[in-house]
Amino acid sequence: MMPSADGRLDLPVVGERQSLREQVAHALRVALITGEMRPGMVYSAPVLAAQFGVSATPVREAMLDLAKEGLVEAVRNKGFRVTELSDRDLDELTHIRRLIEVPTVAALADASREDEFELLRPLAEEIVTAAREGDLLTYVDADLRFHLELLSLSGNAHLVDVVRDLRNRARLYGLDALYRKGTLEESAREHVAILDALMAGDSEAARRLMDQHIQHVRGIWAARPEPPAPA
């Protein structure tokens, strides 16, 4: 999903099932993770609010939540600037994810837990379908839910929170490029392969596949968009 020439974002009109603040924060977080909101760009809360169809207040509150996560920073009298990540930042995020997720997922491998893993298969298939159709917002959302729900099977809620924070700080800039090249679906199918290894009780295969998957994601993170033109 590429940003439009006029800077307008592809944002949904929010409803009432969650608080407006939560819905706006979620939508903006997805736009940040996919790279639709570009690093270095400053976004005005009133302008975003008009696109959401809400007042500026929940947008400002959501942006402040994202600022606490390090995704944006406030710019006095202008709005919020999307923070940029260096290659070192990306390497460090990847390193931490490999330290946490690879052994945790490998330890889950147990054929007797087949029913638990099977519950995650619809999510894994949703990721594949979204990749095939180029629905990047659905891809990112389903991918995040898959990984967090898989890790939650470890019974360690704090670990899940740490990984959620690590993933929220990253940007999957390369998704659109992978889709256009026809390789995003191949990456998406790694989720299915991980499940198959876990269901077979093959911890070594699960370890290898999870490590490979995270390294592939590091490559996606590295595919930054072109920097914005000077104002």
Are 130 and 27 part of one and the same domain? no
Are 71 and 165 part of one and the same domain? no
Domain boundary among 53, 82, 111: 82
Contact 97, 166 (CB under 8 A): yes
Half-sphere exposure of 193 (CA within 13 A, CB side): 16
- Return d(Cα 118, Cα 196) in angstroms, integer: 9
Domain count of the fold of the chain: 2
The pLDDT, as a whole number, for residue 18 is: 59
Collapsing DSSP to helix, strand or coil, 173 comes out as coil
Are 119 and 24 part of one and the same domain? no
Domain boundary among 40, 62, 82: 82
Are 167 and 188 part of one and the same domain? yes
Task: Give the CATH number for residue 54.
Answer: 1.10.10.10
R_g (Cα) of the chain, nearest Å: 18
Mean pLDDT of the residues in the chain: 86
Report if residue 49 sits inside a domain. Answer: yes
Cα→Cα distances 19→57, 64, 68, 114, 137, Å? 12, 15, 19, 36, 20
Are 98 and 197 part of one and the same domain? yes
Are 187 and 153 part of one and the same domain? yes
* Token pair recorded at residue 182: 């026809």
Report if residue 228 sits inside a domain. Answer: no
The pLDDT, as a whole number, for residue 216 is: 81
Are 46 and 112 part of one and the same domain? no
CA proximity to 32, closest of 97, 82, 106: 82
Report if residue 11 sits inside a domain. Answer: no
Are 65 and 119 part of one and the same domain? no
Report if residue 204 sits inside a domain. Answer: yes
Are 63 and 92 part of one and the same domain? no
Residues 6+ apart with CB under 8 A from 64: 74
The pLDDT, as a whole number, for residue 228 is: 44
Residues 6+ apart with CB under 8 A from 180: none
Report if residue 145 sits inside a domain. Answer: yes
Are 32 and 65 part of one and the same domain? yes
Collapsing DSSP to helix, strand or coil, 88 comes out as helix
pLDDT digits (tens, 9 = 90+) for 123-141: 999 999 999 998 887 888 8
Residues in the chain, pLDDT under 50: 1, 17, 224-231
**Domain enclosing residue 164, as ranges:** 87-222
Are 127 and 158 part of one and the same domain? yes
pLDDT digits (tens, 9 = 90+) for 99-127: 999 999 999 999 999 999 999 999 999 99
Task: Give the CATH number for residue 117.
Answer: 1.20.120.530
- The pTM assigned to this predicted structure is 0.74
Are 97 and 206 part of one and the same domain? yes
Q: Which residue has the tokens 């993170």?
A: 221
H helices of 34-86, in order, are: 45-52, 56-68
Residues 6+ apart with CB under 8 A from 48: 9, 11, 24, 28, 59
